[in-house]
Amino acid sequence: MTKLKKLRKDKGLSQREVAERLGMSPSMLAMMEGGYRRGSDETKVKLAKFYNESVDSLFFEDFYHLT
């Protein structure tokens, strides 16, 4: 499970609820949660603010462990 999906589930929200609050499509959110899409920088910032997380922790943390 991706961090995005875990955070959403921890808040008890559906993909549709989060997508509507952020002005994005539920399908885009589903693809991001599944790791199939990264989203624009603007979308990453919206999600980070919504979950009170940094963009790095949501989208790039795994890359730091590769080196």
pLDDT greater than 60 at residue 64 = no
More confident residue, 62 or 16: 16
Give residue limits of the domains in the chain.
3-64
Q: What is the DSSP string of 6-56?
A: HHHHHTT--HHHHHHHHT--HHHHHHHHTTS----HHHHHHHHHHHT--HH
φ, ψ at 42 (rounded to 5°)? -60, -40
Superfamily of domain 3-64: lambda repressor-like DNA-binding domains (1.10.260.40)
Interatomic CA distance for residues 10 and 25, integer angstroms: 20
pLDDT greater than 80 at residue 1 = no
What is the value of pTM for the model shown?
0.86
